[in-house]
Amino acid sequence: MARKNKISRRRLVHTIFVYLCLTLLAFFTVIPFVWTLSTSLKGPNETLYSFPPKFIPQNPTLNSYKVVWTTLPIPRYFFNSVILAIFQVSLPVILCSLAAFPLARMNFKGKNFVFMVIMATMMIPGDITMIPIYIILTKLGLLGSRLGVILPSAAGAFGIFLMRQAFMGIPKEIEDSAFIDGTNTWQMWRYIMFPMVKPNIATFSILRFINSWNAFLWPLLVFTDPKMYPLTVGLYNLRGAFVTNTRLVAAGTIIALIPIMVIFVVFQRYFIQGAYSSAVKG
């Protein structure tokens, strides 16, 4: 009995300690977000740039959100962003996990060469390939279209590398037993491998979504019609040539952040510990 008590007390201390660590860390990571949120809630008579900063608004108001909502076609921008995001998440996830599979699990001639070339593209700064990519898009007639934004990022070294590492982590025994059952290559990818790397797929999807959602340069280079601008680019209109309304920009930032947070939380349900054990048992 006494021993049991001791254990549960130790567990309690441990839990408190973990929460303390978590909270301390979180305190540092949320400061910019809290500043943005508080700025978006401040009225026009409140000081934003006081030093030291004040985080709690005196008279919180949702007015900035109302103004952003009424001055910009938010639903249209939102729609544009969603369309782009659907393709900018699904295409790289599918194409990269297809390409990564043989690079991780098969032996074939030229494998190391292909992998090296793919990795090498990561070493070249994007600013230097920007003009060549733009010229290629022009030649393909993709300027002004959504495809011009979607295709260049439909597959890339980062995703292939991430998924390759994920596939490499799968124990050989699983593959072997599947082969004994007569599984072919496609089935192996689709029904054995792909389900096993779901946490990595989730991670990659989150990252792709954030990249797509926050993309700024390429939508501006490719789209000639402002009606096609995604949300982040559209919100940039809140920064004027001369004076920027910081409260509105902050409100716009928060509006654009909400979908990212939702996606982040949604994809986290694939983060279930021990995905393999269930696969092996099942």
We find the least distance from the C-beta atom of residue 210 to another protein, in angstroms, to be 7
| CB contact at 8 A, 41 and 61 | yes
DSSP code, position 244? B
CB nearer to another protein: give 78 or 237.
Answer: 237
- Helices and strands (H and E) in the chain: how many: 15, 0
We find the least distance from the C-beta atom of residue 203 to another protein, in angstroms, to be 4
User: Can you state the percent helix, strand and coil of the chain, rounding each to 5?
Assistant: 75, 0, 25
We find the least distance from the C-beta atom of residue 236 to another protein, in angstroms, to be 6
CB nearer to another protein: give 82 or 94.
Answer: 94
CB nearer to another protein: give 46 or 78.
Answer: 46
We find the least distance from the C-beta atom of residue 35 to another protein, in angstroms, to be 6
Peptide bond into 52 cis (omega under 30): yes
Give the CA count within 13 Å in the CB-facing half-sphere of 56.
Answer: 1
CB nearer to another protein: give 25 or 62.
Answer: 25
Q: Sort residue 9 into left (φ over 0), alpha (ψ -120 to 50) or beta.
A: alpha
Question: CB neighbours (10 Å) of residue 8?
Answer: 10
We find the least distance from the C-beta atom of residue 109 to another protein, in angstroms, to be 7
CB nearer to another protein: give 78 or 147.
Answer: 147
Instruction: Report in angstroms the alpha-carbon separations of 267 from 2, 85, 96, 100, 253.
Output: 43, 15, 18, 21, 22
